Amino acid sequence: MSAPELDVDDLFADDPMTRPLTYPGRIPPTSGLFADGRYTRLDVVDGEPAEAWVLETDLGRLGDHLDQLGVAPMSERHRVIAVGSNAAPSQLHRKFVNHDVRPVIPLTIADVTGIAPGVSAHINRNGYIPAAPIVVPGETSRLFVLWLDEPQFEILDATEPNYDRRLLPLDDFPVVLTSGVPLQACYVYVGKHGYLSDEAGQALRLTEQRALITRILGLSTELRRLCGSTVPEFLTRVQDATVREDAYEIFRLEGWARSQPEFSTIEPTDRPLLSRKECASGSARDLPKDRQV
Distance of alpha carbon 86 from alpha carbon 130, whole angstroms: 11
What is each CA distance from 141 to 90, 102, 176, in whole angstroms? 22, 30, 11
**% of the chain surpassing 70 pLDDT:** 87
DSSP state letter for 240: S
Residue 289: the pLDDT is 35
CA atoms 92, 94, 97, 100: torsion sign:
negative
- Structural contact between residues 279 and 79, judged by C-beta atoms closer than 8 angstroms: yes
Q: Contact, 198 vs 121, CB < 8 A?
A: no
280: number of Cβ within 10 Å: 18
- Average pLDDT along the chain, 293 residues, taken 10 residues at a time: 48 84 93 91 96 88 96 96 94 84 94 97 95 95 97 93 92 96 94 92 95 94 96 97 96 91 65 34 32 42
What is the spatial distance between Cα 16 and Cα 123, in angstroms, rounded to a whole number?
13
Reported as type and span, the H/E element at residue 38 is strand 38-43
Distance CA 83, CA 100 (A): 26
Fold of the domain built from segment(s) 8-264: Hypothetical upf0131 protein ytfp (3.10.490)
Position 190 scores a pLDDT of 94
pLDDT of residue 32: 95
Closest C-alpha among 208, 163, 207 to residue 189: 163
d(Cα 287, Cα 275) in Å, to the nearest integer?
A: 30
pLDDT value at residue 283: 28
- Quote the pLDDT of residue 139: 96
Half-sphere exposure of 132 (CA within 13 A, CB side): 31
3-state secondary structure of 58: coil
Task: Please list the residues that pair with 140 across neighbouring strands.
Answer: 113
Q: What is the spatial distance between Cα 280 and Cα 258, in angstroms, rounded to a whole number?
A: 29
Q: Percent of the chain beyond pLDDT 90?
A: 71
Write down the pLDDT at residue 9. Answer: 53
